[in-house]
Structure 1
C-alpha cells in the first residue's frame, strides 16, 4: 500500500510539472492588433488576398526585432478604433494620424511616417482646380481620417458639402461617377492610388498634416508601446525601415 501511495504521489507531481510547462507556453501573450482594410500603400490586400503594405511590414519587422507575437485584425478604420476602445484589440496600426484630440483617448508611439492631405478629382475633370471651385458642390471624405478633418475645417469658408465614406475605394468611385466632385485624402495614399490607376488626379499642393503613429488605449499596454518604439528605432538603424518605405512610397 505504501508503495502504491508513493507511486501515486510521484505521478501527481509529474503531471503537475507537465501542466506547468504546457501552461507557460499557452500563456505567452499574443497581441491583437487592429488595422484598416483599404488604405494603400499602408494596408491593402494583394492579388493573393494577403494583407500587405507599409504598416503591415513595419509591424512584422518590429515584432520580429522585439520578439513578440500578434494576430492581425483587418477591420476597417472605424471598426479598428472601436475594437481598441472596447478592449477587443491591444493596439491599432492604420495610418492613424497623431492629433491632440486623439491623445486624450490613446497613447501613441513615436511617429513612424510624416504625412499630409491633398485634394483629388476625376482624371477627366478639368473644372475643379482649387478650393474655390468647390462652392455649392459635394465633396467626398473618408470617415475618421485627417483628410476628413481638413475638409471639415475649410468647408464653411469655401461653401461645400461633405459626403462620408467608410472605405477609400467607395469614395474614389463616387468622385469618378460625378456624385461628388472631389475628395480629400492622405497624400501618400492618393499618390499610390493614382499610380495604380484609381482614375483620379491631384489638383492641389499637399497640405502639411500630422504624423502617423501606433496607438494603444490610454493607460493600457504600455509594454507593447515600449516594444514598438524600441523596435522602430532598431529597424531604422538597421536600414529595414527605409527598405520598407522605399518599397511602397519611393515613387511619390
Structure 2
C-alpha cells in the first residue's frame, strides 16, 4: 500500500510537470497590477505638458487616462525625452506610448498600433483678408514662412514658394500676421491650438492637404488581448462623447477625422 501511494504521488507530480502552465496575457498582468504604464514626453503642448501648477495635462494625457479607466485600472505616466520614448517599450519601462506617435510602415514593422485616435493635416495658413491664396498651387511666387529643414518647408518649395526662414510655428504665424510672409504651411493641430489660445488672431486656413497623418497608441507586438482592449476603449471614448469633449477642450475642433 505504501508503494502504491508513492507511485501515485510520483504520477501526480509527473502529470503536474507535464501540464502546460498558461502564461498571463499582457492585459491580465496590467489588470492584476491595477496600472497601465504610459510613456509620454510631458513637454509637448497641447498634447502632453505640465500646467502652471506642475500637473501633467494635455490631450494625449486625458486620452491615456480614459483608456486606462475603461480597462479598469489607473494610468501611470512615465515621462522621458522623445528620442528614447519608443525604445522604452523594448526595455519594458511602460506598457504603451501615447505621445502623438505617427503610424508609419517603419514603426509598424516592429510595433503594434491601435486604431488611429487623432489626425493631422498640412494646413495652408494666411491672413484673414487674404483672397489671393486659396490653394497650395497659389503659393507659386509667394513668400511662405517655414523652418528650412521641415517637411512643410519642402512642401512649400514644391509649390514654388519663396521660403522665409523661421525657427518654428509661432514665428511663422507672426510673420504672416505682420505681412512679412504671405503664408505658412504647418500642422493643422498646431493651428487649432493657436486659435484656441488666441481666437482673435487674424489668420485662417486657406486649404488643407487631402491626406491626413494619423497617430495611434503604440505597444509591443504579440499582445493581441491588450491591443483589442485598447481599441475597444478608444471606440467607447468616441461613442459616448468623451473624445469630443477632450478635443473641443484642447483644439476647439474634432481632431479624430
| TM-score, length basis structure 1 | 0.63
Q: 2:215 aligns with which of 212, 217, 227?
A: 212
Counterpart residue number, 2:247: 245
Mapping for residues 41-120 of structure 1, pairs under 5 Å: 42-84=47-89, 87-120=92-125
How many correspondences in the alignment? 214
Mapping for residues 118-157 of structure 1, pairs under 5 Å: 118-120=123-125, 131-133=139-141, 139-140=146-147, 148-149=150-151, 151-152=153-154, 155-156=157-158
Question: Residue 78 of structure 1: CA displacement?
Answer: 3.9
Give the Cα–Cα distance (whole angstroms) in 1 for the partners of residues 98 and 58 of structure 2.
Answer: 11
| TM-score, length basis structure 2 | 0.62
Give the Cα–Cα distance (whole angstroms) in 2 for the partners of residues 85 and 163 of structure 1.
Answer: 38
Counterpart residue number, 1:192: 193
Per the alignment, do residues 153 and 84 of structure 1 end up closer, same or farther by CA in structure 2, a change over 3 Å counting?
A: farther
Is the 1:54–1:244 contact (alpha carbons within 8 Å) kept by the matching residues of 2? yes
Per the alignment, do residues 88 and 49 of structure 1 end up closer, same or farther by CA in structure 2, a change over 3 Å counting?
A: same
Question: Residue 68 of structure 1: CA displacement?
Answer: 3.0
RMSD (Å) for aligned C-alpha atoms: 4.1
Structure with bigger gyration radius? 2
Question: Residue 247 of structure 1: CA displacement?
Answer: 2.6
Is the 2:97–2:218 contact (alpha carbons within 8 Å) kept by the matching residues of 1? yes
Is the 1:120–1:203 contact (alpha carbons within 8 Å) kept by the matching residues of 2? yes
- List runs of 5+ in structure 2 lacking aligned partners: 1-28
Q: 2:45 aligns with which of 36, 39, 47?
A: 39
Q: Residues 85-133 of structure 1: CA distance to partner in whole angstroms, max 9, x if unpaired?
A: 6554432212333233432333110122233121447x79x8x955324
Question: Residue 63 of structure 1: CA displacement?
Answer: 0.4
Question: Residue 64 of structure 1: CA displacement?
Answer: 0.8
Give the Cα–Cα distance (whole angstroms) in 2 for the partners of residues 55 and 65 of structure 1.
Answer: 15
- List runs of 5+ in structure 1 lacking aligned partners: 1-23
Give the Cα–Cα distance (whole angstroms) in 1 for the partners of residues 125 and 105 of structure 2.
Answer: 26
Is the 2:146–2:152 contact (alpha carbons within 8 Å) kept by the matching residues of 1? no
* SS across alignment from 2:68: helix
Counterpart residue number, 2:170: 172
Per the alignment, do residues 159 and 186 of structure 1 end up closer, same or farther by CA in structure 2, a change over 3 Å counting?
A: closer
Per the alignment, do residues 101 and 138 of structure 1 end up closer, same or farther by CA in structure 2, a change over 3 Å counting?
A: farther
Give the Cα–Cα distance (whole angstroms) in 1 for the partners of residues 139 and 76 of structure 2.
Answer: 42
Is the 1:30–1:70 contact (alpha carbons within 8 Å) kept by the matching residues of 2? yes
* SS across alignment from 1:158: coil
Give the Cα–Cα distance (whole angstroms) in 1 for the partners of residues 82 and 73 of structure 2.
Answer: 24
